[in-house]
Structure 1
Amino acid sequence: MTDTRDAVFISHATPEDNAFTLWLGGRLTALGYHVFADVMRLKGGDDWERILEDAIRNKARRFLLVATPGSVQKQGVRNEINIANETGKRIKEPGFIVPLRLAAYQSPLQIVQAQYIDFEKGWAQGLAELLPVLEDAGVPRNATPSAAQAWQNLQLKDARTLGAGPETLISNWLSIEALPPSIGFYDFKGGISIGAAQTMIKDCRIPIAAHNRGFISFAPLHQLQDYFGPNLPLQLVDTCETDTFLESGWHSQRLAPKDCRPKFTDISRRALDAYFEDKGLKPFEYADGRNAWWPSSGKATMDQHPFAWAGLKGRRQLVGRSEKRGFHWHYGVSCWARSGPVRHVRMYGRVIFTSNGHDLIGDARRIHRMRRTFCKGWRNDKWRDLLLAFWYWLAGGADFVDVALGEGVFMRLSLPPITFAAPFGVNSPSDSASEDQDDDDELIVDRDDDDFGDDDDGEV
């Protein structure tokens, strides 16, 4: 291979994989590699068709194929694969084409033997595997500062600018305004076998958290005894002020603050699960054991749901249907309580998919693919409005909700979510439309969260 081949070419589907290509091209250029890609057309001007073809035939030392189910079917990408395949044979370089797998795909015949690099588990992880391949191929790192500046300009083309402040920011935290004044430790009276009790503690719908032989709870003794029955007599062994429990620990029970906080989170999780269930929502359990609670189409309907708190007004669908893909989508939330830095319930927006508005789609691979692709186009403004519409609908427009921690005792959550004031704003087009459009064309594009990830699902 001649030394004139000093570049890396990235072939990808436009516009689906532009974001990844900009990310990868920018990082490779920052590392000194000379990178060509179709996204450079955004600069306008030259005859890019001819420039890109010449780059593959005469300048590229490695041809990187951004491989997804959609990209390998696009005619423009297939044309570039054909040129790269011919070039690899001509220069006698069998490893010339390097597929970068972003999702499982059917490999075109020309590259069926090519070993791909897996970017599906994470872009940073894939980049870490790609760099040694480029190093072994002898791709020089001689990019000029102007090349790096060109990629930077591409990445900043649609960047948002700072504006005059202040700006009000809406969090995904609901403030905990009130808790019961004290919490109790309950144990089973001596002389009885508690083997059966452990299963009942685990399955208890009353909010409790296991501790030693018994459990901790805000609920009253008579309610707990009714649940465990006469064969498992209970006694209230100890109590602690709630503020002390969360801030200083429970010394008589040898519980440090770091031990008390997870127990409070566990108690609150059970309480929130019971609250959502009583409201008629359905659970979807994630791998970490957390539930996402979502409304069926019969519960929330596919109407626009308004919200109207002081300074916060709009409307959003909480359930929709994608005619193109043949499924319903449902907005839901996962919630858990935290005692710091302020007491709050933290929420993550989720999207659940059903076949008909109430039955979950059972194909795990299809669900995973939909989570990774369906909502990439949803901006923060839309996630924010969905969260506001969800809680306004669920609370009936009230300024608070009371989540039962036991009979007659509650955790009061303030609505809307906590807001913060930033000293400056960000100039950007608003996505908080008063009406939703059919989401098929706007939203079905190929990132991860994670996820919905998973963890990248919609944190506002």
Structure 2
Amino acid sequence: MKYDFSSLSPNDFEDLSRDLLGRELCVRFEAFPEGPDDGMDGRHCVGEGSIILQAKHYYRSGFSALKSKMGKERASIDRLQPKRYLLTTSTPLTPNNKRTLAGIIGPALLSEGDMLGPDDLNALLRKYPDIEKSHQKLWAQSTTVLEEVVTGAVKQAMARPAEVPSVLANMLSPRGTTEDNSQIVERDVVYLIKSSPIDDEFVLWLAPKLEAEGYRVFADILTLQPGDRWRRETNAVLQARTAKVLLLCKDATLADQHVQDDLDIALETGNELGDTRFIIPLRLEPGRKVKGIGDAVPVDFVRGWAEGLATLIDALSRQKVPRSSEAPTIDRNWEIFRRRGAVPLVEESERLTSNWLRVVEAPDVIRFYEASGVIDGRSLQAAIDAYPYPSALQGSGFITFAAQAEVDEAFESAGRFRLKREIPLLHFVGNGIPEIGIERQVASNLVIAMLKKAWYAYCKQCGFLEFQYSNGTGFHASAEQAPTGQRIPWGKQGERRSSMLRNVAKGHIWQFGVTGMPFFWPFWHFKLKSRVLFSTDNGTATGIDIDDPKKLHRLRRSLCKGWRNKQWYGRMLAFLELLSGESAYIRLPMSSDTAIVLEAAPVLFSSPVSTALPDILDADEEETDLSTLGRPANDDEEGAA
């Protein structure tokens, strides 16, 4: 609509002018009270001068009156010396009118375009309709604008229901039709009955893994948020599209009324389908049987989620639950939802302590010795095993870091050996010795094995206890090195702290330890993997060993769950303190006169970002905090599992 601005008072016209020009120029104009305006109705001050705006509402007076008024304003304009002068008027302006006014206003007017008549103002109103709506007097008599405002209010008051979320809508859609146009609905959905938010973590872990196996998964975590009302639609998916229901079984979950409602629908649907195995219970903790499916054999996730997943996938396959034959697609919304509770990043750098020990010194060369005559392979292997330093059998000889004199003495019982090759260590790792059958990868593996052997020998020499894990050898502080409940001091002078390596919790003794693993990339280093070993507390310093790997695994998951990163970090540094003693380095002998030397302090890295998590525990609190003792189940509870 085109306005002549006759419905506005002079003050209203000034307000409108400030709003329109301010929006167009991206500046804010100051407003002044009614009365003498000293030549300005709006002002924007900047360092090098001011932008002055004058608004002349001369709709009824015409151009002659405007021209006369501007002649009187010239002195005020010159006195203000604005950087830029702007004029708005309700009087229609022709090009000749603008040229005339430009001569009157003087040099403060940079361009005739800085004079805006009603046509220019209407153009700005079309450009900024929100300003038009904010000036009620402007459109109070406009039927078009009034209709738009009323229509918007009615639409808002009678808002249509929001569209069904796409995840849910896709499952509600039928897959095809018959010749008589009746709908064919394929049951291909694996429906998770859960309680929010207590089951969200498990569902966000399980659902993507089932989708990776080709199954179509639904859980309300993707569609239902507080205030959402999709119960009818989710029930439709459960009744019409679901092939199997997975019921999460925890006491708190089963106490949820929504879970009970879904379970009732699932039981009814299973009866209608004649499928006695329609509901598959997933046991997440020891508990009571579920009413209505008491005879159903649950999939056990108590002993381990990975083990439970394997059993579940096997059950779905045996029961012929439909799965896609195409490449699996994992819904990205699982990950999006998981990240909703993520810790925000802060644009601040942070120093991070790694679990890497840098190798700062290594032998210059490695040597290959070959037998001078016929030797017995078993005798040579026995000599290698008895040799206190790392070496490796290779053909009719062996690889070692020892010099000739040391070899002559140490391997005398196996025969005589002569130095066949002496090669720089880095060249050997990177290239091997192909001419004697040692390719690059073989050479790299040989040195890795020798470094491990040196680490094992050093840890044993220091008195640490060896334990064979399924994926490596760990070493733990003994009761003599770290008495139960005693803190081991660590850290630099003036920043000393302490951490426990052994303690009692819920009838068990836990012992912290590490596995050292050598790596060559991106530089030579040992990576430390934290380990926790348990024994049954019987009042002695060491307790009774636990031989059941599954029980050890459950204890790690429960007891160590409460340990914070700061506590893991402290235990690792306390372990290194015992390992290195008073030295800043750890020397791993490779022969009688050579060694691999590690820095005893872990490598520090710098992160370009940090997190908003507060560090609320100080050095003394971290070992007295209840989370240090964890929350392991007692033996009776484990037996009930």
Residue 271 (structure 1) shift: 0.4
Distance 1:222 1:351 in 2: 43
Q: Which moved more, 1:300-309 or 1:333-342?
A: 300-309
For the structure 1 residues 366 and 24, does the alpha-carbon distance in structure 2 shift closer, same or farther, using more than 3 Å as the test? closer
For the structure 1 residues 407 and 40, does the alpha-carbon distance in structure 2 shift closer, same or farther, using more than 3 Å as the test? farther
- Counterpart of 2:326? none
Contact 1:10 1:21 (C-alpha < 8 Å) held by counterparts: no
In the TM superposition, 1:58-207 aligns within 5 A as 61=242, 62-66=244-248, 71=250, 76=255, 80=260, 83=264, 87=268, 91=272, 92-100=274-282, 110-114=293-297, 116=299, 120-121=305-306, 136=321, 155-202=338-385, 204-207=387-390
For the structure 1 residues 115 and 312, does the alpha-carbon distance in structure 2 shift closer, same or farther, using more than 3 Å as the test? same
Distance 1:355 1:99 in 2: 33
- Counterpart of 1:237? 420
> Are 1:303 and 2:486 counterparts?
yes
Distance 1:200 1:84 in 2: 73
Instruction: With a CA cutoff of 8 Å and minimum separation of 6, indicate the structure with the bigger relative contact order.
Output: 1
Contact 2:376 2:414 (C-alpha < 8 Å) held by counterparts: no
- Counterpart of 1:451? none
> Could you tell me which amino acid in structure 2 is paired with residue 304 of structure 1?
R
- Counterpart of 1:376? 561
Per-residue CA deviations over 1:358-394 (Å, capped at 9, x if unaligned) read: 3531223322332344323434443333222321332
- Counterpart of 1:264? 447
> Are 1:350 and 2:558 counterparts?
no
Contact 1:269 1:337 (C-alpha < 8 Å) held by counterparts: yes
Residue 277 (structure 1) shift: 0.3
- Counterpart of 1:277? 460
Residue 187 (structure 1) shift: 3.2
Contact 1:177 1:413 (C-alpha < 8 Å) held by counterparts: yes
SS in 2 for 1:262: helix
More helix by percentage: 2
- Counterpart of 1:327? 508
- Counterpart of 1:143? none
SS in 1 for 2:349: strand
Contact 1:335 1:347 (C-alpha < 8 Å) held by counterparts: yes
Residue 316 (structure 1) shift: 2.2
> Are 1:385 and 2:566 counterparts?
no
Residue 222 (structure 1) shift: 4.6
Distance 1:105 1:238 in 2: 67
Q: Identity percentage over the alignment?
A: 23
- Counterpart of 1:35? 219
> Could you tell me which amino acid in structure 2 is paired with residue 291 of structure 1?
T
How many pairs does the alignment contain? 425
Match of 2:551 among 366, 373, 386: 366
> Could you tell me which amino acid in structure 2 is paired with residue 64 of structure 1?
L
How much is the aligned-residue C-alpha RMSD, in angstroms?
A: 4.6
Q: Which moved more, 1:156-165 or 1:371-380?
A: 371-380
Contact 2:299 2:308 (C-alpha < 8 Å) held by counterparts: no
Contact 1:9 1:56 (C-alpha < 8 Å) held by counterparts: no
Q: TM-score, normalised by structure 2?
A: 0.55
Contact 1:170 1:418 (C-alpha < 8 Å) held by counterparts: yes
For the structure 1 residues 339 and 134, does the alpha-carbon distance in structure 2 shift closer, same or farther, using more than 3 Å as the test? same
Contact 1:322 1:438 (C-alpha < 8 Å) held by counterparts: no
For the structure 1 residues 430 and 10, does the alpha-carbon distance in structure 2 shift closer, same or farther, using more than 3 Å as the test? farther
Per-residue CA deviations over 1:17-42 (Å, capped at 9, x if unaligned) read: 542123335778998754237x999x
Distance 2:391 2:589 in 1: 12
Distance 1:315 1:134 in 2: 55
Q: Which runs of 5+ in 2 are unaligned?
A: 1-183, 324-330, 634-641
Residue 272 (structure 1) shift: 0.3
Distance 1:199 1:103 in 2: 51
Distance 2:341 2:629 in 1: 21
Distance 1:393 1:307 in 2: 9
Residue 432 (structure 1) shift: 6.5
SS in 2 for 1:192: coil
Residue 350 (structure 1) shift: 1.1
Distance 1:205 1:133 in 2: 55
Distance 1:271 1:317 in 2: 26
Per-residue CA deviations over 1:404-454 (Å, capped at 9, x if unaligned) read: 112121111013212222222233243865232344764549xxxxxxxxx
> Could you tell me which amino acid in structure 2 is paired with residue 35 of structure 1?
A
Match of 2:432 among 249, 253, 265: 249
SS in 2 for 1:19: helix
- Counterpart of 1:453? none
Q: Which moved more, 1:392-401 or 1:339-348?
A: 392-401
For the structure 1 residues 267 and 431, does the alpha-carbon distance in structure 2 shift closer, same or farther, using more than 3 Å as the test? farther
For the structure 1 residues 231 and 213, does the alpha-carbon distance in structure 2 shift closer, same or farther, using more than 3 Å as the test? closer
Per-residue CA deviations over 1:269-304 (Å, capped at 9, x if unaligned) read: 11000100011001111234x310111233222322
Residue 107 (structure 1) shift: 6.9
Residue 177 (structure 1) shift: 0.4
SS in 2 for 1:283: strand
For the structure 1 residues 148 and 166, does the alpha-carbon distance in structure 2 shift closer, same or farther, using more than 3 Å as the test? closer
> Are 1:416 and 2:601 counterparts?
yes
Distance 1:209 1:86 in 2: 65
Distance 1:132 1:77 in 2: 30
Contact 2:559 2:629 (C-alpha < 8 Å) held by counterparts: no
For the structure 1 residues 341 and 287, does the alpha-carbon distance in structure 2 shift closer, same or farther, using more than 3 Å as the test? same
Residue 98 (structure 1) shift: 1.3
For the structure 1 residues 163 and 216, does the alpha-carbon distance in structure 2 shift closer, same or farther, using more than 3 Å as the test? same
- Counterpart of 1:454? none
> Are 1:338 and 2:519 counterparts?
yes
Residue 216 (structure 1) shift: 0.9
For the structure 1 residues 351 and 77, does the alpha-carbon distance in structure 2 shift closer, same or farther, using more than 3 Å as the test? farther
For the structure 1 residues 34 and 190, does the alpha-carbon distance in structure 2 shift closer, same or farther, using more than 3 Å as the test? closer
Q: Which moved more, 1:159-168 or 1:302-311?
A: 302-311
> Could you tell me which amino acid in structure 2 is paired with residue 279 of structure 1?
C
Distance 2:408 2:288 in 1: 60
Q: Which runs of 5+ in 1 are unaligned?
A: 139-146, 446-460
Find the structure with the greater CA-based Rg.
2
- Counterpart of 1:403? 588
